Chain A
Amino acid sequence: MLHIDRYAYRNRLYGVHPADKVCLAGTALFVSLAGAPPLTPLLVLVVMAGATVGWAGIPWRYYLRLVAVGLGFLVLGLPAVALQAGPAGDGLLWGVRVGTFFLGLDRAGVERALHLLVKCLGAVSGLYFLALTTPVTELLRVLRRVGFPGLLLELMDLVYRYLFVLLETAGSIYVAQAARDGYASWGRAFRSLGLLVSVLFVRAHHRALALFTALSARGYNGSLEVVGPEYLSSWKNRLAVGCLTVGLLVSWVLTGGGAHVRGHP
Chain B
Amino acid sequence: MSGAILEALDLHYTYPDGTRALRGVTLRVPEGSRVAVLGPNGAGKTTLFLHLNGLLRPRKGTVRFAGREIRYDRKSLGELRRAVGMVFQDPDSQLFCASVFEEVSFGPANLGLAPEEVRRRVREALRATDAEDLAERPTHYLSYGQKKRVCLAGVLAMEPRVLICDEPTAGLDPRQTSGLIELLDRIARRGGTVLIATQDVDLAYSWADRVVVLKEGRVLGEGTPTEIFLDEDLLRGADLTVPWVVEVHRELVRRGLVPPDAPVPRNREELFGLLPAAEAAVRLEV
Q: Which residues of A contact B65 (CB under 8 A)?
A: none
User: CB of B10 within 8 A of chain A?
Assistant: no
Docked Cα-Cα span, A229 to B53, in Å, equals 29
User: CB of A265 within 8 A of chain B?
Assistant: no
User: CB of B118 within 8 A of chain A?
Assistant: yes
- The answer on a CB contact under 8 Å between B110 and A225 is yes
A-contacting residues, B72-129, CB 8 Å: 74, 78, 81-82, 85-86, 88, 90, 92-99, 101-103, 105-111, 115, 118-119, 122
Kindly identify which residue among A5, A161, A230 contacts B139, using a CB–CB cutoff of 8 Å: A161
Docked Cα-Cα span, A9 to B134, in Å, equals 12
- The answer on a CB contact under 8 Å between B119 and A230 is yes
Docked Cα-Cα span, A13 to B135, in Å, equals 17
Docked Cα-Cα span, A123 to B140, in Å, equals 29
- The answer on a CB contact under 8 Å between B102 and A219 is no
- The answer on a CB contact under 8 Å between A218 and B81 is yes
- For the residues of A in contact with B, the DSSP-based class is helix
User: CB of B137 within 8 A of chain A?
Assistant: yes
Kindly identify which residue among A136, A157, A218 contacts B158, using a CB–CB cutoff of 8 Å: A218
Interface band, chain B: 35 or more
Docked Cα-Cα span, A217 to B122, in Å, equals 17
Distance to closest chain B CB from A152 (angstroms): 15
User: CB of B55 within 8 A of chain A?
Assistant: yes
- The answer on a CB contact under 8 Å between A226 and B109 is yes
Q: Which residues of B contact A88 (CB under 8 A)?
A: none
Q: Which residues of B contact A218 (CB under 8 A)?
A: 81, 85, 106-107, 110, 154-155, 158
Distance to closest chain A CB from B51 (angstroms): 12
Q: Which residues of B contact A9 (CB under 8 A)?
A: 137-138, 141
On whether A161 and B55 interact (CB within 8 A), knowing A226-B109, A227-B105, the answer reads no
Distance to closest chain A CB from B160 (angstroms): 10
Interface centre among A137, A207, A217, A228 (most CB of B within 10 A): A217
Q: Which residues of A contact B138 (CB under 8 A)?
A: 5, 9, 135, 137
Closest CB pairs A-B (n = 7): A210-B93, A219-B110, A164-B140, A226-B102, A137-B99, A214-B94, A227-B105
Known: A219-B78, A221-B78. 13 other contacts (CB 8 A): A135-B138, A136-B98, A158-B96, A210-B90, A213-B88, A214-B96, A216-B81, A218-B81, A218-B158, A227-B115, A228-B101, A228-B105, A229-B135
Report which B residues bind A (CB closer than 8 A).
50, 53, 55, 74, 78, 81-82, 85-86, 88, 90, 92-99, 101-103, 105-111, 115, 118-119, 122, 135-141, 154-155, 158
Report which A residues bind B (CB closer than 8 A).
5-6, 9, 14, 135-137, 157-158, 160-162, 164-165, 207, 210-211, 213-221, 224-230
